[in-house]
């Protein structure tokens, strides 16, 4: 092998410097050069004897290696090994590693042809465990789950996370909005933080990448929402077709390399790489159709109480004094003058008497849903070219996707470019560089949390107006006073967002001598979001009288968010066979992360005619602000694994972190980890007595570890902020009502997990089960203060919380013949979350929907805590004398124990006393799971995925709104006499009535595809597939969809249905050609 | 080894050292905010916090400008709820046991008043660093006014409240709270009188407040509530009632008039019950009363409250109305030990016969003089009636209704329950009043 000696030497000197600077350890380098070489070559094929391109061929214990070309052939030159016994390891993701021993002799060559055995799920599968770490499954003391590109393709979605739904045990993956760029959240093993998000750390090819949600396009509603987190989260920028595998590290112990950012778990995303051989071209194109799966019940029954102009005709009443003034007028303006035909019925609720209208008048009702929904179409196109030789491999791709939402005027467009180049610099040095760029654009409508959003304008407007009517100039007309015409939300409001993003990495892998490796990854993820908001002045403001919060004279804003994340990971590994039976793997490393985001915003109101940007806003209304957030994190870690006879492994690790978010006294944090695994099935005793046919493998594992979480604490939360406000042209500073504790520290999770992986009948049945217990301490809570203390809250480490759960994954391969294959897999996850300590008995989480979301000591996070329906001992509602539901009454025993109350009954058995509050719903599911079935017969394959979430509550705010406004299903029954008059009025203030069961079973994916092999010369294969997503939901939910999340990407406000866009049903046809 | 090699090695080494060692101890500070030890040790910092007091008091739906007027208006039945979806407002209108400690208006009124009290204390505790008396006195006057208003709000709506700012603060009865407000104002008055207000202060403070007259008007208001009628009278007499003198909190398009923005700008939240100032028939004024048109918008489709000090986002809201000062004098003459009913009638007539043009704020009844009996009960009834009209939607109605011992049916509650946020986090929180 010819090498550039100058180049080679230089690299080696770098290595020496690195070691001296970073390790300060004395490792004697053994760099003796020799002329002797031994050549190993051969062909690698899979079980069907098809060539396996891209398999890695490595001299064991070094990074000296190559990969197979397009025909599965390889040639590996072994330098400096003459006379030694060496092992050649051939590996490929999803296949069992093949180890081949030989004695190297100078100048000779050996041929080793290998047939690889499929190995997914078995113990020798190689999995990614960190940016620079890889490990065989058998050595791990914790669960790790990998989803590969096939599953991403089958999902029929152009969102990366959709493909994970139903495929990862322990992960709850929720789509937060049916918008075409709608956010998705992943929660691994439950909620982890009460203040920050529980989003895992995302690492793409070693680059710590942002999935944050920053609202730049919906700035009009910022002052009107609470803890909801609105907007797209940024993984939407990633093209799923570029992804090779996604590895999910659920637990704290698994993620030790990421220390104080690992408590939420880590998702490691590996993109596709080139394989040596002739250039390979892959092209795919698809067409998607999205539609509304189910409408909500809106009455078109042509009646209403009182008179046509009466607002909230179902619940709008008059006082006893007003009612008495009808018969006995006082002659003053407080007298009520009834409309012709108006009659009344007295209703008592919570001790207060009101007179509701009891007469019905004729009206014409419309279903406005028909005006705001549509069928949306989309297309997704990808082209990739890859190839290379044994030294250089490349992968390039371009993608264009556009998807229309089911709300008129919403769409999402994205362009992606990606290049990855791998270059072998020397037999012991490899360089890899990845560059990606994406440009996305989304057209949005107002977020559901405001009453000028498409869905809420339908829910909150009495539907007796023909909204399609226009004046002579073609302008829309007013509907109910103070309400926005639903068509205005579509035609006269625009919220857009454009994102430019690039994620780049540079990786250097060195093996200066046998057993010793250095890996360095540097990555940068940087993007800018530019958002614009426009609400045109309403042409009908004079008659509608819209309140200022709906911006009657128009609103325009722009906002931008510029983000940069940088990370550098350097690690050194050393592998050594200590004795014949005992092997050591040691790794030390450092990690540096820096993150900066700059947010700028300008907004104004009262727009000049025809002008649609902030430039047209009236000068007195314009405000501007700027925010800078930055923090850094430095970490050092060391890890050692001892393996005994490849049967038992024990790993210990420690990470020390220092972050600028904390004061110097708290900045240094240590996170230890210990794990062990044991594979009894590989013991001679076991092999001789049990055998592959019964139990092919058994692994027992356990791990204990600590990890931290920084998301709960804003970069400046440890300071009491004195913030400027715009006020009357004079410098004004307001001390924050949120007080601070200088010594606040990172949240810390201690996790203990144990489990087993067992395979039966020649790996035909695989079962993995894990039990875990997470104790999260020092939770950062913005705890409520008595305002007499000088603030209304303080950010402090007062919380503790636990997550306990079980994850089970079962894969069965009942039939495997040459032509027919049947795979079934079943996942079951169950998590029990409980807030143990909070600093105060309850913390109310502000929401805009009226959902009473609370954190309560002794209860799961984010429960709904509010007024309850009065029930008797057997759980049946106690009806009022008028036949209505009513709130439970009695006494709340003590504010310190908010869950205790004593119901009271009067002589008639009716509830009496004050309204009590209790937990009326829990948005944390009882259990979740999925069932995946795949059949393939020759080139035809058919698969479906059924996803289920059971035992979960939804706060259905919209259901009640529809009844109060008088357009819902209950009020229709009331008007038709099927329910007593006042039924809706009776339950209107009882919050429990709004809590619905959100359990569902969904046909998440169903697909059929056919592969034409070599259909015409020059084309290797053509695959034609049909996929349906979210086609059917079996549920009992009175709304669009039981998977709502008006809290957006918030991990604290969950399970609230308030104006959010339902998840569409979609159909896709996809054609993929490989050349 | 070549020289260039050495150079690249040393370069690389320094890059690595920089990346891994130097960057460790960086501390990042928010450039868009300041810290307490910056702001509270600088004169301009203190003045900017003084403006912050007014901002907190007058901007937004959580501010006392909204909550005091709404809570008093709904409990004393000046206002009615237009949309039953506004639950906090609706429950205050229903009153009684339906008002509990989770009511948003109750919580905001309590929290913001306590915060203004503690923020004002930040200024009052750091006045020593101000050397110029013209700045120091004005700053003290400004902070004292907002502290007094905050204490006054607590005393008008709750039976007890904490005076100190601390963890587990103990509660003090409302009369002592009002006395603390008065002594804070009196101390400020003394300091203010020592020098004329500096140009530094005037150029940096949000304009609108006449300090000396506001201090006296507020002393008179709170002295009347404590039953110290002589002090009330003395202070009221010290207020200059000239047409040119007024004291307001200003608003603009960015810091909007809170009642207009959140309620009276549309017909979706609350509005005045009627054009009779919600008075019982016996106390209703004549249709010729020019104040009806001043306070009530009678245009169809408009919110009835879209008038007076709630016309637009930019309408200024007075801190005290001159009529209040005159009516304090009248009431004090009746209630003080050395009662003077004729003097009371004289003051009362100044209100009844006042032309809008002779009032600094344009409030004027323009009616003929009081012709009723010159007896204490009759005059007090007339004073109550005039207060209800002259001080309509100023937030004083609930207090007045109690002080004049009006029938309980005219009020939804006498006092508010303590917010859950206080009760759950301060064990010294007293029991809630039954009504």
The CA distance from A481 to A478, in Å, is 7
- Mean pLDDT (whole number) for A544-567: 92
CA A644 to chain centre: 39
Higher pLDDT, A9 or A826: A826
- pLDDT for res A1017: 86
Q: Calculate how close chain A gets to B54, using CA atoms only, in Å.
A: 9
pLDDT in tens, B268-308: 899 999 899 999 989 999 999 999 999 999 988 889 999 99
Q: Please state, rounded to an integer, the average pLDDT across all residues of chain A.
A: 88
- Mean pLDDT (whole number) for B165-191: 97
- pLDDT for res A662: 84
- Could you give phi then psi for residue A1022, rounded to 5 degrees? -130, 130
| pLDDT above 80 for A979 | yes
The CA distance from A313 to A480, in Å, is 12
The CA distance from A636 to A589, in Å, is 6
Q: Which residues contact B49 (CB under 8 A, 6 or more apart)?
A: A722, A733, A734, A735, B39, B40, B119, B122, B123
pLDDT in tens, A404-458: 999 999 999 999 999 999 998 988 889 999 999 999 999 999 988 889 999 999 9
Closest partner residue to A660 among B26, B96, B168, by Cβ? B26
Higher pLDDT, B37 or B229: B229
Residue A483: closest CA among chain B residues belongs to which residue? B268
Please give the structure tokens belonging to residue A368. 């406005």
**Is the overall model pTM greater than 0.90, yes or no?**
no
Test mutation, B26, B28, B57, B67, chain A, max A CBs within 10 A: B28
Q: Report the length, in residues, of chain B.
A: 435
Q: CB distance from A10 to chain B under 8 Å? A: yes
Q: Calculate how close chain A gets to B114, using CA atoms only, in Å.
A: 6
- pLDDT for res A514: 80
Are A722 and B34 in contact (CB < 8 Å)? Answer: yes
Higher pLDDT, A82 or A525: A525
Is A79:A427 a contact under the CB 8 Å cutoff? yes
| pLDDT above 70 for A669 | yes
pLDDT confidence band for B153 (50 / 70 / 90): very high
Those of residues 234-253 in B touching chain A at CB distance below 8 A are 250-253
Q: CB distance from A846 to chain B under 8 Å? A: no
pLDDT in tens, A177-230: 888 887 788 889 988 888 878 889 999 999 999 888 888 988 888 777 777 777
| pLDDT above 70 for A5 | no
| pLDDT above 70 for A42 | yes
- pLDDT for res A122: 64
Test mutation, B47, B266, B412, chain A, max A CBs within 10 A: B266
| pLDDT above 70 for A1026 | yes
Higher pLDDT, A150 or A833: A833
Residues forming beta bridges with residue A33, ordered by sequence position: none
- pLDDT for res A119: 62
**Secondary structure percentages of chain A, helix, strand, coil, to 5:** 10, 50, 40
Of A640, A639, A515, A649, nearest in space to A574 by CA: A515
Are B30 and A620 in contact (CB < 8 Å)? Answer: no
pLDDT confidence band for A716 (50 / 70 / 90): confident
pLDDT in tens, A840-870: 888 888 888 889 999 999 999 999 999 999 9
pLDDT in tens, A818-839: 889 999 999 999 999 999 998 8
Residues forming beta bridges with residue A460, ordered by sequence position: none
Of A811, A725, A734, nearest in space to A768 by CA: A811
pLDDT confidence band for A537 (50 / 70 / 90): very high
- pLDDT for res B14: 52
Identify the residue whose tokens are 């869950």.
A899
Higher pLDDT, A1018 or B405: B405
Strands (E), A272-341: 277-291, 303-305, 317-318
pLDDT confidence band for A63 (50 / 70 / 90): low
The CA distance from A286 to A380, in Å, is 5
The pLDDT > 90 percentage for chain A reads 55
Least confident of A5-9, A939-943, B57-61, B217-221: A5-9
Of A301, A295, A302, A334, nearest in space to A318 by CA: A334
| pLDDT above 60 for A540 | yes
Mean pLDDT comparison of A168-182, A662-676, B290-304, highest-scoring range: B290-304
Q: Which residues contact A756 (CB under 8 A, 6 or more apart)?
A: A698, A699, A700, A701, A767, A768, A769
Higher pLDDT, A222 or A759: A759
Least confident of A147-156, A263-272, A842-851, A883-892: A147-156
Chain A residues with CB under 8 Å of B310 CB are none
Least confident of A99-113, A392-406, A527-541: A99-113
| pLDDT above 90 for A940 | yes
Q: What is the largest CA-CA distance in chain A?
A: 118
- pLDDT for res B215: 98
Q: Is A919 helix (H, G, I), strand (E, B) or coil?
A: strand
Q: CB distance from A743 to chain B under 8 Å? A: no
Are A733 and B13 in contact (CB < 8 Å)? Answer: no
The CA distance from A153 to A170, in Å, is 22
């Amino acid at each position: 092998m010819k090498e550039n000696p100058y180049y080679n030497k230089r690299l080696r000197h770098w290595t020496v410097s690195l070691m001296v600077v970073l390790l300060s350890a004395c490792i004697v380098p053994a760099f003796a050069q020799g002329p002797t070489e031994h050549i190993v070559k051969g062909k690698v094929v899979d079980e069907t004897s098809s060539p396996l391109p891209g398999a890695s061929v490595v001299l064991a214990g070094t990074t000296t290696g190559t990969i197979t070309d397009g025909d599965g052939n390889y040639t590996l030159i072994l330098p400096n090994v003459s006379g030694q016994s060496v092992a050649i390891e051939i590996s490929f993701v999803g296949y069992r590693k093949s180890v081949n021993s030989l004695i190297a002799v100078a100048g000779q060559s050996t041929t080793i042809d290998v047939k690889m055995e499929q190995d997914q799920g078995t113990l020798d599968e190689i999995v990614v465990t960190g940016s620079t770490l890889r490990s065989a499954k058998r050595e791990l003391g914790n669960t790790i789950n990998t989803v590969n590109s096939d599953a991403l393709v089958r999902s029929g979605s152009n969102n990366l996370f959709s493909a994970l739904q139903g495929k990862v045990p322990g992960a709850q993956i929720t789509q937060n909005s049916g918008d075409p760029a709608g956010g998705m959240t992943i929660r691994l093993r439950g909620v982890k933080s009460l203040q920050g998000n529980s989003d895992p750390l995302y690492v793409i090819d070693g680059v710590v990448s942002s999935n944050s949600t920053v609202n730049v396009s919906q700035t009009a509603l910022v002052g009107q929402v609470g803890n909801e987190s609105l907007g797209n989260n940024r993984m939407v920028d990633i093209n799923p077709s570029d992804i090779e595998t996604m590895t999910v590290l659920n637990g704290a112990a698994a993620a030790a390399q990421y220390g104080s950012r690992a408590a939420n778990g880590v998702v490691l995303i590996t993109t596709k790489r080139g394989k040596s051989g002739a250039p390979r071209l892959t092209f795919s194109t698809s067409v998607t159709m999205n539609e509304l799966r189910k409408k909500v019940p809106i009455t078109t029954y042509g009646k209403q109480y009182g008179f046509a102009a009466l607002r909230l005709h179902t619940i709008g009443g008059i006082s006893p004094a007003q009612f008495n003034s009808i018969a006995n007028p006082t002659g003053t303006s407080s007298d009520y003058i009834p409309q012709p035909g108006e009659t009344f019925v007295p209703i008592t609720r919570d001790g207060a008497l009101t007179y509701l209208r009891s007469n019905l008048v004729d009206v014409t009702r419309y279903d406005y849903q028909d005006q705001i929904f549509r069928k949306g179409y989309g297309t997704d196109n990808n082209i990739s070219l890859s190839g290379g030789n044994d030294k250089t491999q490349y992968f390039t791709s371009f993608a264009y996707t556009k998807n229309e939402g089911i709300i008129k005027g919403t769409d999402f467009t994205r362009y992606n470019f990606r290049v990855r180049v791998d270059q072998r610099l020397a037999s012991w040095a490899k360089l890899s560089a990845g560059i990606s760029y994406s440009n996305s654009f989304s057209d949005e409508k107002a977020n559901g949390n405001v009453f000028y959003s498409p869905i809420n304008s339908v829910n909150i407007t009495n539907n007796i107006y023909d909204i399609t009517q226009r004046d002579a100039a073609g302008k829309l007309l007013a509907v109910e006073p103070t309400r926005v015409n639903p068509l205005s939300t579509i035609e006269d409001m625009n919220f857009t967002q454009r994102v430019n993003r690039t994620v780049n990495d540079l990786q250097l892998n060195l093996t200066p001598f046998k057993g010793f490796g250095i890996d360095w990854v540097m990555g940068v993820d940087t993007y800018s979001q530019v958002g614009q908001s426009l609400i045109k002045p309403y042409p009908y403001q004079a008659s509608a009288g819209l309140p200022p919060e709906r911006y009657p004279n128009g609103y325009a804003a722009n906002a931008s968010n510029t983000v940069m994340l940088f990370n550098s990971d350097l690690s050194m590994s050393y592998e050594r066979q200590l004795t014949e039976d005992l092997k050591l793997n040691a790794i030390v490393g450092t990690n540096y992360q820096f993150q900066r985001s700059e947010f700028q915003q300008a907004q104004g109101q009262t727009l000049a005619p025809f002008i649609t940007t902030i430039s047209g806003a009236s000068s007195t209304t314009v405000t501007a602000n700027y925010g800078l957030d930055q923090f850094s994190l430095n970490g050092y870690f060391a890890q050692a694994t001892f393996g005994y006879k490849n049967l038992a492994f024990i790993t210990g690790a420690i990470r020390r972190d220092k972050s600028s978010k904390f004061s110097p006294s708290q900045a240094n944090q240590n996170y230890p980890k210990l794990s062990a695994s044991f594979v009894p099935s590989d013991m001679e005793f076991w092999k001789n007595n049990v055998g592959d046919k019964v139990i092919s493998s058994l692994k027992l594992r356990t791990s204990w570890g600590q990890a931290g979480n920084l998301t709960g604490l804003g970069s400046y939360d440890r300071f009491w902020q004195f913030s400027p406000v715009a006020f009357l042209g004079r410098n004004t500073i307001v001390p924050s009502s949120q007080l601070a504790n200088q010594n606040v520290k990172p949240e810390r999770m201690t996790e203990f997990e144990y489990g087993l992986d067992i395979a039966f009948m020649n790996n035909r049945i695989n079962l993995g089960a894990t039990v875990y217990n997470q104790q999260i301490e020092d939770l950062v809570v913005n705890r409520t203060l008595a305002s007499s203390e000088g603030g209304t809250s303080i950010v402090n480490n007062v919380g503790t919380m636990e997550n306990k759960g079980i994850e089970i994954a079962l894969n069965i391969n009942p039939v495997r013949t040459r032509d027919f294959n049947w795979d079934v897999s079943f996942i079951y996850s169950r998590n029990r979350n409980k807030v143990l300590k909070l600093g105060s008995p309850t913390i109310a989480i502000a929401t805009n929907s009226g959902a009473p979301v609370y954190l309560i000591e002794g209860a799961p996070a984010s429960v709904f805590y509010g007024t309850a329906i009065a029930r008797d001992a057997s759980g049946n509602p106690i009806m009022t004398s008028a036949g209505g539901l009513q709130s439970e009454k009695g006494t709340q025993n003590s504010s310190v124990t908010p869950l205790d109350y004593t119901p009271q009954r009067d002589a008639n058995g009716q509830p009496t006393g004050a309204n009590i509050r209790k937990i009326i719903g829990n948005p944390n599911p009882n259990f979740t799971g999925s069932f995946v079935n795949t059949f393939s017969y020759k080139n035809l394959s058919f698969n479906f995925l059924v996803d289920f979430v059971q035992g979960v509550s939804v706060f259905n705010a919209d259901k009640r709104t529809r009844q109060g406004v008088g357009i819902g299903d209950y009020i229709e029954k009331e008007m038709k006499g099927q329910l007593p008059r006042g039924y809706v009025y009776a339950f209107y203030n009882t919050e429990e009535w709004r809590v619905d069961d959100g359990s569902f079973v969904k046909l998440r994916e169903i697909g059929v595809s056919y592969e034409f092999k070599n259909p015409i010369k020059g084309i290797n294969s053509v695959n034609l597939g049909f996929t349906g997503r979210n086609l059917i939901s079996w549920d009992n939910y009175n709304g669009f969809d039981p998977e709502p999340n008006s809290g957006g990407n918030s991990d604290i406000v969950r399970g609230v249905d308030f104006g959010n866009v339902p998840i569409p049903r979609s159909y896709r046809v996809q054609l993929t050609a490989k050349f | 080894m070549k020289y260039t090699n050495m150079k690249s090695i040393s370069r690389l080494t320094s890059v690595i050292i920089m990346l891994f060692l130097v960057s460790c101890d960086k501390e990042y500070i928010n450039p868009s905010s300041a810290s307490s030890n910056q702001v509270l040790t600088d004169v301009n910092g203190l003045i900017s916090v003084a403006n912050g007091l007014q901002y907190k008091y007058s901007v937004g739906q959580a501010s006392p400008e909204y909550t005091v007027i709404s809570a008093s208006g709904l409990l004393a039945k000046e206002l009615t709820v237009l949309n039953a979806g506004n639950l906090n407002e609706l429950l205050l209108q229903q009153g009684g046991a339906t008002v509990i400690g989770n009511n948003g208006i109750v919580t905001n009124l309590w929290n913001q008043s306590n915060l203004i009290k503690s923020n004002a204390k930040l200024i009052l505790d750091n006045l020593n660093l101000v050397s110029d008396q013209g700045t120091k006195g004005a700053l003290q006057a400004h902070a004292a006014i907002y502290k007094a208003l905050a204490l006054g709000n607590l005393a008008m709506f709750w039976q007890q409240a904490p005076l100190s700012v601390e963890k587990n603060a103990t509660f003090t009865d409302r009369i002592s709270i009002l006395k603390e407000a008065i002594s804070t104002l009196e101390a400020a008055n003394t300091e203010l009188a020592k020098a004329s207000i500096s140009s530094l202060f005037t150029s940096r403070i949000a304009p609108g407040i006449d300090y000396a007259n506001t201090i006296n008007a507020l002393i008179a208001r709170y002295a009347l509530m404590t039953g110290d009628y002589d002090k009330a009278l003395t202070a009221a007499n010290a207020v200059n009632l000239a047409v040119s003198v007024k004291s307001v909190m200003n608003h603009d398009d960015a810091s909007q008039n809170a009642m207009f923005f959140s309620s009276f700008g549309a017909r979706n939240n609350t509005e005045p019950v009627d054009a009779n100032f919600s008075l019982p028939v016996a106390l209703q004024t004549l249709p010729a009363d020019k104040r009806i048109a001043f306070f009530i918008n009678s245009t169809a489709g408009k919110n009835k409250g879209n008038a007076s000090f709630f016309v637009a986002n930019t309408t200024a809201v007075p801190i005290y109305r001159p009529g209040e000062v005159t009516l304090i004098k009248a009431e004090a003459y009746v209630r003080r030990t050395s009662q003077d009913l004729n003097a009371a009638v004289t003051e009362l007539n100044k209100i009844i016969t006042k032309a809008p043009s002779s009032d600094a704020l344009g409030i004027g009844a323009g009616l003929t003089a009081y012709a009723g009996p010159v007896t204490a009960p009759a005059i007090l009834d007339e004073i109550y009636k005039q207060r209800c009209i002259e001080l309509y939607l100023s937030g004083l109605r609930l207090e007045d209704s109690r002080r004049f011992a009006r029938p309980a049916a005219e009020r939804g509650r006498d006092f508010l329950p303590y917010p859950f946020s206080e009760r759950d986090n301060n064990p010294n929180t007293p029991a809630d009043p039954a009504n």
